[in-house]
Structure 1
Amino acid sequence: MQSVVIVLVGILGMLFGWFVYSKFIAEKIFKMDDDFVTPAHEINDGVDYVPTNKVVLWGHHFTSVAGAAPIVGPAIAVYWGWVPAVLWVVLGTIFFAGVHDMGALWASARHKGKSMGALSETVIGKRTRALFMVVVFLVLLMVNAVFGVVIANSFVANPSAVFPAWSAIAVALVIGFLLKRNVPMMPLVAIGVAVLYATIYMGSSMPLALPSEMLGLSDKANWILILFVYAAVASLLPVWMLLQPRDFINGMQLLVGLVLLYGAVFVVMPDITAPAFNTETVANTPSIIPLLFVTIACGAVSGFHGIVSSGTSSKQLNKETDGRFVGYLGAVGEGSLALITLVAVSGVMLAVTPEQWHEIYSHLGAGSVGAFITGGSNMIQAGWGIPSEVSSTLLAVMVVLFAGTTMDSGVRLQRYIIQEWGEIYNIPVLKSGITATLVAVACCLLLAFGAGGASGSGGMIIWPLFGSTNQLLASLTLLVISVYLIKLGRPAKYTLIPMSFVLVMAFFAGVIKLSEYYEKGNWLLVGLDVIVLVVSVLVMLEAWSVIVKHKSEQQDSEAERAN
């Protein structure tokens, strides 16, 4: 029964965020205007800049920013107790993530679809741009290299997910082709989702796997290579051909999954066996403050979302007012997934007694995706009577498809950044989409196999930096939006307050991690962590100087008018 209360409180909070808070921010602070000509119409190159129906664009945006993170983060952070995790997910979605994502989308659309890195030059200054883009590129490098490993591991561990995951690509290509020829969208979506779920049922009885060793590499390493070849091709295709329909179908698939999971909660009404506040953590467990706020990123607030908002989504925005639907509602979707994940990993469907729960969550990092799939599939089986083999395949495919769409968008975003560098520094060869994509993939594979050897798991070496780096990026994105609002003469407290909180938590977490890396003698992570922390401080100082200068100029202007 406790789970129903959690769900109702979360849903009511997010409904307030969507119907009240987001409307206030969009209309009174960002002042979104239907008559503003968006970059999708102004540039409209048919490849990256394409005016897109807001529901389709929501599907792309939502699944691109989601990945596996709104599952992984909450499924780990519940170790500290379900109460702080639920509070951060709900409050973070309403006051942090929604404003961050919608704001990045709006600010980018107001500047011809520039990425947050390039936009920081316009808003703050040239030095800020160079510093900002270092952090952005590092985050994308982490995400792409690691998500390749995550998907490969999932394929090896869940061969039943292979067939439906690749079938989704074929379905998306067909839908993209038909939509381009003005075939009505809703019948196609209904058929596409039905086919996707049929392949999930087939996959549960038809597992596919690569040979354990091929071409001198393990099955996991070969999956990583295949995934990056696919991501390279996908990033060069027009967005209407694969990116939009695939992400939209995945979004619809997630909605069905959420209906099954939330519906099961109200049918089964499971109790919570996880502690509200875990007082039995093992020795040397990191402090909940600030680590909770960097462990749960997607689902509360995430810097990666700003990259997607200003990278792909802003280039497809049909009307500026669609930014509220795409950006804020996308964050609500993430928060909803994070909330149901917390229920799945906290209740009797995962562990019948508190003692069993503590056995599964023996330390921070235990449980994670496996706990979500087990708890979630048990809930679906109990609530809807769907066999556990099918429900577990459904949830495993959900994780894989989300990670895949994030990887698709991540490589495309890396390509955008490299092309922006070509424009900024006048390097003609980097302006080419093909060259930029090859450079992006080469960087990811160099990290994967250069640092990780034949396993291809090199991204995992720098992954420990992701939490604090990603949240520092979120604070920097909120800072750029805040400075832009100040220059426009509008209230900035709605972005400055979240920015300040996230900055303090992320910076504090980065310092704690720095000491851990130093004690372990991990000099690569020490160096990268120092770079990220120093860059963040420098960007903050640059922004502060711009704000002070702007305020001074305003005062001088007012004094002149008074005289």
Structure 2
Amino acid sequence: MNSLVLVFIGVGMMIGGYLLYSRFLGSKVYQLSDRYRTPAHTMTDGVDYVPTNKFVLWGHHFTSVAGAAPIVGPAVAVIWGWLPAFLWVTIGTVFIAGMHDLGTLWASQRHKGQSIGTLSGRYIGNRGRNLFLVVIFLLLLMVVAAFAVVISNLLVSTPTAVIPTWGAIVVALFIGQAIYRFKWNLPLVSVVGVVVLYALMIIGDRFPIVLPDSILGMSPNAFWIIVLFLYGGIASLLPVWVLLQPRDYINGLQLFVGLGILYGSFLLTAPTIVAPAYNANVPEGTPPIWPLLFVTIACGAISGFHGIVSSGTSAKQLDKETDARFVGYFGAVGEGLLALGTIVATTAGFRTIADWEAIYTAFNKGGVNAFVEGGGNLMNQGLGIPPSLSATILATMAVLFAATTMDTGVRLQRFVVQEIGEIMGVKLGAVAATGVVVVVALALTFSAGGDGSGGMLIWPLFGTTNQLMAALSLSIICVILTRLRRPTWPVLIPLLFVLVVSLWAAVVQVRGFWDAQNWLLLIIDLVIIVAAVWVTIEAFAAMKRARSEDPVVWSDEDTDAPAPVAATADQKL
């Protein structure tokens, strides 16, 4: 089958979703209004609350939520065949991911930019909030620890990506000053920034940085991990406009250009998909497609991590409420396009089915390497880009996606630690909270040895935890919409589906951990399941109460949406 069929259908669905479905959500469900003054204006502090151009904020949001997951997930999931992965990515992006990301962004900025965890306390009770924070803390810990390992592995395996990866930070610092301090023309700054980034890739391809086998007694992987956490800690403390926001913005542009190059190679080569539509002969040990497909591909279809970003950083920078549609929904579309490109690269980027099967010898054998190899082959054939430079471009894309997610994750984890401290009666400053985040993440990362592989210890739980987090966020949105007497079906139907498949997958994993006698993951998985079920029950009880209470009306003059009185205390079910 010609891969262009998938490209045109997939891209058409996602663009149609933004133009049509997101418009319906914005006008009928979330009822976005330009008259409402966002927290970025009412609570401006120059650090976290900063009114931001919607294109700049989109770049920050898109690269923060994307990470390496929309590459890793689809690149692994095509082992079951390209058709299931394609259907989940396209349908999930249009009807679930965009709605979820837009909804969490809308709900947060209507409540002073508060996190989705805090909103759970307002709408379903303090007990639900505490359990919610447990899930959020574990999810963020998985992200920052695992992505540090992923980035370090790529920097070691693809040394040509070292210069553009770290050079992007210097470029971002200049862009932040140019936009906010010197007020230079945004399009001009954007073009110059992208050109410099791609020039750094060419330089990196010519001058790879290969570290010695031992640096200060550490392996290259361990050295990069420590440097990454030091950077993440510093970045989380700086005002968002200095580094985090411009870094994400310019990376977003660069990554979209990279997607353009990748899709351009599809158009010029029109490669044939060599992988089966449905693979009935999966390697031994491959888990069942139901329900594992829906947690293997998280980012790119629906991801709970997006709700944490939307309500953690993006909601504090929204200039106008109507910008939420572009930032939230179109941010999900950007990730869906990356996931779709990954599916094509990993199924049509090989000459024969034998070449494809040589990569997919076992579950989890695809991943980023399959994306880099398959996509690099297509870029070489279609655009004549040398294989080494193609690999550098794609590896840098993966690293920058992961790095922007990691530094945003450290900042978000700092907020969570501070919130947990307040619950426990301990007030933690930004530096102290960041120190806690970095120490805990480093302890996990090096818990299995000096190579830093411990960062992947709890990663097998990411898929189910991430999707359960999405279901919990959707449940909070459902409670809010119920109180406002607005349509809930666009949220409730995806909520029920994601909740069922996520809990199903979590139970499957419990059995696998029991058989493997992996007691650590077994206990953590059970804790997550209990917390998720408990929060869900309280959320549905809150919806039931909301239907019997007087509806709430939000005014565009309100700077903080009123919370229901009944939701401020724990409810006995």
The bucket for the TM-score relative to the shorter chain is over 0.9
Corresponding position: 1:335 with 2:336: yes
SS at match of 1:458: helix
* Alignment match of 2:432 (pick from 428, 431, 435): 435
Alpha-carbon distance between aligned partners in 2 of 1:368 and 1:549, rounded to the nearest angstrom? 45
Partner residue, 1:44: 44
Partner residue, 1:531: 527
Deviation at 1:37, TM superposition (A): 1.1
SS at match of 2:320: coil
Alpha-carbon distance between aligned partners in 1 of 2:125 and 2:502, rounded to the nearest angstrom? 23
Partner residue, 1:319: 320
Partner residue, 2:242: 241
Partner residue, 1:4: 4
Alpha-carbon distance between aligned partners in 2 of 1:424 and 1:23, rounded to the nearest angstrom? 39
Deviation at 1:554, TM superposition (A): 4.9
1:353-397 deviation line (CA, Å, top 9, x unaligned): 222222221121112111111111111111111111111100000
SS at match of 1:439: helix
Structure 2: gaps (5+ residues): 552-573
Partner residue, 2:445: 448
Query: What amino acid is aligned across from residue 4 of structure 2 in structure 1?
Result: V
SS at match of 1:203: helix
Alpha-carbon distance between aligned partners in 2 of 1:386 and 1:358, rounded to the nearest angstrom? 25
CA 1:40–1:425 in structure 2 vs 1: closer, same or farther (change >3 Å)? Answer: farther
SS at match of 1:386: coil
Partner residue, 2:357: 358
Corresponding position: 1:550 with 2:546: yes
Alpha-carbon distance between aligned partners in 1 of 2:51 and 2:381, rounded to the nearest angstrom? 43
Partner residue, 2:476: 480
Identity %: 55
1:227-246 deviation line (CA, Å, top 9, x unaligned): 00010001111111111111
Partner residue, 2:54: 54
Give RMSD over aligned pairs. Answer: 1.1
SS at match of 1:222: helix
Q: Is contact 2:284-2:362 (8 Å) kept?
A: no
Partner residue, 1:559: none
Alpha-carbon distance between aligned partners in 1 of 2:406 and 2:284, rounded to the nearest angstrom? 36
Normalized against structure 1, the TM-score is what?
Answer: 0.96
Corresponding position: 1:468 with 2:458: no
Alpha-carbon distance between aligned partners in 2 of 1:400 and 1:65, rounded to the nearest angstrom? 14
Once structures 1 and 2 are overlaid, which stretch shifts more, 230-239 or 545-554? 545-554
Partner residue, 2:556: none
Query: What amino acid is aligned across from residue 265 of structure 1 in structure 2?
Result: F
1:77-121 deviation line (CA, Å, top 9, x unaligned): 000000010000000000010000000000000111111111111
Partner residue, 1:164: 164
Partner residue, 1:296: 297
1:62-101 alignment to 2 at 5 Å? 62-101=62-101
Query: What amino acid is aligned across from residue 442 of structure 2 in structure 1?
Result: L
Alpha-carbon distance between aligned partners in 2 of 1:17 and 1:35, rounded to the nearest angstrom? 25
Deviation at 1:300, TM superposition (A): 0.2
Partner residue, 1:216: 217
Corresponding position: 1:507 with 2:503: yes
Deviation at 1:448, TM superposition (A): 1.0
Deviation at 1:550, TM superposition (A): 2.2
Query: What amino acid is aligned across from residue 503 of structure 2 in structure 1?
Result: F
SS at match of 2:92: helix
Deviation at 1:284, TM superposition (A): 3.4
Partner residue, 1:422: 421
Alpha-carbon distance between aligned partners in 2 of 1:44 and 1:84, rounded to the nearest angstrom? 45
Q: Is contact 2:304-2:471 (8 Å) kept?
A: yes
1:251-298 deviation line (CA, Å, top 9, x unaligned): 111111111111111111100000000011123321111000000000
1:190-209 alignment to 2 at 5 Å? 190-209=191-210
SS at match of 2:450: helix
Partner residue, 2:486: 490
CA 1:471–1:209 in structure 2 vs 1: closer, same or farther (change >3 Å)? Answer: same
Structure 1: gaps (5+ residues): 556-563
Corresponding position: 1:395 with 2:394: yes
Q: Is contact 2:475-2:540 (8 Å) kept?
A: no
Partner residue, 2:568: none
Number of residue pairs the alignment of both structures matches: 550
SS at match of 2:32: coil
Corresponding position: 1:518 with 2:518: no
Corresponding position: 1:264 with 2:246: no
Normalized against structure 2, the TM-score is what?
Answer: 0.95
Alpha-carbon distance between aligned partners in 2 of 1:177 and 1:290, rounded to the nearest angstrom? 47
